[in-house]
Amino acid sequence: MTIPSAPRRSVLRALAVSVALVGGAIPASGTAASAEPPGTYTLTINHLDRAGRATADYLTGVHGLSGPNAGKSVKPHDASGTTTVRLPRGRYALDSALHKSEPADGVDWIVQPRLDLDRDTTVTVDARTTAAVDVRPPDPAAKLYVGMMLAEITHNGVTHHPNVSTGGAELRVAHLGPAAEPGSVRQWFDGHWEAGKGVYSLGYAFTGDRALTGLTRHPARRDLATVRVGAAATPGTSGYANVFVTPSAGPTVGYGGTVKTPGTATHFVTPERGTWDFMYATRDASGATARRYHADGVRVRAGETTSLTFDNAVFGPDLTGRPGAVREGRRISVDLPLLADGEGHTSVERAPDETVSFTLHRDGVPVAPEASAPGRAAFTVPPGRAAHRLTGTARRTGAPGTATRVTSVWTFASATTAGPTPLPLSAVRFSPGLSLTGTAPAGTALRIPVTVQGAAANGRTRSLTVSTSTDGGATWTRLPVTRGAVTFRNPPADTGVSLRAELTDTDGNTLTQTTVDAYRTR
């Protein structure tokens, strides 16, 4: 089996490790042959340490891949170093972690991906066959936070994920036994190191018919990609946030650390591991999670820098990857974040000071909601075609700051549908260059890019107007939209600037979107 692994991104994704209990295993000793079920065989496993001596310091798992024990596991152990167990005929995978009582003495992990049990069989797990996992970042002062070696062994539709982790002890690994089928063994190593200049996350993946015997990787800085995570300081947060990073592919271990807000966390990652997932969590004054964002599948390239900023203005509706509302028959379902941050990241949690609600009118008559959740609602409307007005409102009632109120009003015609049909909603994104406190310099001209999403995107906008307010939305001033942006001269310091967009698409559907205190001046 394995040394217990460090938790991978406890709020990111749970490690999918096979831990099925024993099924169909029969102790080999003290059992009369006449009482043994037919088609079972004795498996004897010898365990030897780095000096070639029998050892009791091991964790061994035998995992069924085919036959009666497919998907089941047994963990035999005997203090003599030799253990026996009777198992039904079938294909198994075996892995064994040999270790001293002190973790600092190191771990030898041996994986046999193919063990065909069709007769009495003896296997020797020998630590002297292993080779070092020598993976390290270019900064010699970096300290290992956690590392994990994980295998994925697949046969006959059954998959097993043995793994071993290390927090700094020497890790040595080896393949044992015959080769399995081509491509049936995947294996990867992921490690995370902390350094003064940032966090190094190095990952390497392999596919073949054998487990790894040793691994050496010493990447230079030019071999790595840089991801800079901007941590905004929004009103009501505590002055620090949590950043978690993990490879997108495969169950594995991730890194979790803190960053001061406003501030920047720098991560160096290996592009060959594929895309990377980032999770960002703000904390309120009590230290509890206020908002939690995900940026999954971030693509990186060696030598290049990618920037991600979380929890910064301008907050507002976002339709990236979603229609916002769908009608199926008489039912209208709404799934639309109203407080996506300036880069479109959507919080999967609602802060205590936030309220979000949706209302629907059909031909001017309110429709009672039948279900409601943050960012979601459902309504059942009478059959037939009618004019609809959907209103979404989000409020922040805590410390005054950015996006104290966001309101979107959509109008559209809709009739009963035969199946799920997206409704023609649009959204407008404002993207000014702001500091990590959601502010812009007072008295300066600020260019604010304007992007249309949804039904009115890609040339389907008939009209679009943008207005600003510096008195909380009491009065508005219209600005011309030129080449996808408006330009606004900022008011005196510590003033909230509100933004409003009004558009009509080419089919006559409309949107009025208002963000009170979209950003502030400093």
Alpha-carbon distances of 82 from 56, 77, 78, rounded to whole Å: 8, 8, 6
The reported pLDDT for the residue numbered 26 is 56
pLDDT of residue 371: 73
pTM for the predicted model, two decimal places? 0.88
- Residue 12 is predicted with a pLDDT of 37
Domain map (residue ranges) of the chain = 26-216, 221-310, 325-521
CATH class of 221-310: mainly beta
* Same fold: 26-216 with 221-310: yes
Check: CATH 2.60.40.1120 for 26-216? yes
pLDDT of residue 9: 39
Q: Distance between CA 44 and CA 41 in Å, rounded?
A: 10
- pLDDT, tens digit only, all 522 positions of the chain: 433 333 333 333 333 333 332 334 555 543 434 455 668 999 999 999 999 999 999 999 999 999 999 999 999 999 999 999 999 999 999 999 998 765 567 899 999 999 999 999 999 999 999 999 999 999 999 999 999 999 999 999 999 999 999 888 899 999 999 999 999 999 999 999 999 999 999 999 999 999 999 999 999 999 999 999 999 998 878 899 999 999 999 899 999 999 999 999 999 999 999 999 999 999 887 888 889 999 999 999 999 999 999 999 999 999 999 999 999 999 999 999 999 999 999 998 777 778 999 999 999 999 999 977 778 999 999 999 999 999 999 998 866 678 999 999 999 999 999 999 999 999 999 999 999 999 999 999 999 999 999 999 999 999 999 999 999 999 999 999 999 999 999 999 999 999 999 999 999 999 999 999 999 999
For residue 47, what are the CA distances in angstroms to 97, 99, 188, 228?
A: 10, 11, 25, 46
pLDDT at 33: 40
Q: Residues 6 or more apart from 285 whose CB is under 8 A from it?
A: 236, 238
